[in-house]
Amino acid sequence: GAGVSQSPSNKVTEKGKDVELRCDPISGHTALYWYRQSLGQGLEFLIYFQGNSAPDKSGLPSDRFSAERTGGSVSTLTIQRTQQEDSAVYLCASSLAVPEQFFGPGTRLTVL
């Protein structure tokens, strides 16, 4: 079946603009995770959804970051007033009530 998909694959934006990143999880997966991967670094956890609910948003790096999930499926990560330090690859993973998390290809965000 189809894996996790993310769009866009690449996004170049100017400092101060808002961006939206989209994640389509594997069908039926109830858990959804967002991670950020900066150059040469490991993956940093941002936020977790179980269904449409995000129990804890403390992983988000600042209040410029927000995320939502609708219909227990698609999720959108929004970054407002982007800064150059937001440049990274944003990865989404989904899971079906088991530890295994399956990652999408990521969105490479470049803030000029």
Half-sphere CA count of 68, side-chain side, radius 13 A: 4
Q: Quote the least distance from Cβ 80 to another protein, whole Å.
A: 23
Q: Residue 48 or residue 65: which is nearer to another protein going by CB?
A: 48
Closest CB 52 distance from another protein, rounded Å: 15
Minimum distance from CB of 60 to another protein (Å)?
Answer: 12
Q: Please identify, using beta-carbon distances, which residue of 50 and 76 lies nearer to another protein.
A: 50
Bridge partners of 23, per DSSP, are: 6, 75
Q: Which is nearer to another protein, 43 or 74 (CB)?
A: 43
Buried b (16+ CB within 10 A) or exposed e, 57-93: eebbeeeebebebeebbebebebeebeeebbbbbbbb
Q: Which CB atom, from 41 or from 84, has the smaller least distance to another protein?
A: 41
8 A C-beta contact, residue 25 and residue 32: yes
Q: Which residues bind another protein (CB under 8 A)?
A: 4, 31, 33, 35, 40-45, 48, 55-56, 58-59, 91, 99-106
DSSP-based three-state secondary structure for 37: strand
Minimum gap (Å) between residue 16 Cβ and another protein: 28
- Integer Cα distance of 66 and 14 in angstroms: 19
